[in-house]
Amino acid sequence: MKRTLIFLIVVMISFQPGSTAAEGPEAAAVASAKQWLSLVDSGHYSQSWKEAAAYFRGAVTQEQWKQMLEGVRSPMGRLISRKVKQTVFTKELPGAPDGEYVVILFETSFENKRSAIETVTPMKDPDSRWRVSGYYIK
C-alpha cells in the first residue's frame, strides 16, 4: 500500500504538462481509463481492482483497495461530470518499472465535491491492453 501511495505522489510531483490530443496511445489509454472509472463510479470497487494492471494488483490487495475507495470516493457521491484535462505519454515513471504509461488528468465534479482532479495512469500490460496502474483524486 505504501508503494502505491508513494508511486501516486511521485507521479503528481513529476507530472509535466503535455498534450490534450486524443491520438495514438493516449486515445486507447483514455478509453481504458474511462471504462475503469465507470466501475469505480458505480461502486464496483472490487471489480475495478480485478480490471487494474498487474502492477497495481501487486501493490495493493483487493480488500485494501476497496477500503480506500469506500473511505475516499464513496463520500463524494455520484458523478456529475468528467472531462479530460490533459494527457502525457511516457515510458518512465519514478518508482515504477519502465513501460508505456499515459498520465491522464480529469476535471471531475461529484454530487458532494463540485471540483476535483482525478489522476488516472493506465499502463500497457504485457498482453498489449491498457490497464489502470495508478489512481489519485484531490
Residue 21 or 33, more confident: 33
Question: Does 12 score more than 90 pLDDT?
Answer: no
Q: Rounded CA gap, 118 and 130, in Å?
A: 18
Tell me the mean pLDDT in the region 4-32: 60
Residue 18 or 27, more confident: 27
Residue 134 or 24, more confident: 134
Judge whether 89 and 100 are in contact, CB under 8 Å.
Answer: yes
For residue 94, give the DSSP letter.
T
Q: How many domains does the chain have?
A: 1
pTM for the model stands at: 0.83
Tell me the mean pLDDT in the region 23-30: 90
- Which three-class secondary structure state does DSSP give residue 121? strand
pLDDT at 24 (0 to 100): 84
pLDDT at 49 (0 to 100): 98
C-alpha cell at 73: 470516493
> Where on the phi/psi map is residue 35: left (φ > 0), alpha (ψ -120 to 50), or beta?
alpha
For the segment 40-89, what is each residue's pLDDT rounded down to a tens digit?
999 999 999 999 999 999 999 999 999 999 999 999 999 999 999 999 99
For the segment 39-51, what is each residue's pLDDT rounded down to a tens digit?
999 999 999 999 9
For the segment 110-138, what is each residue's pLDDT rounded down to a tens digit?
999 999 999 999 999 999 999 999 999 99
Which structural domain range is residue 57 located in? 2-10+18-137
- CATH classification of the domain holding 64: 3.10.450.100
pLDDT at 23 (0 to 100): 64
pLDDT at 122 (0 to 100): 98
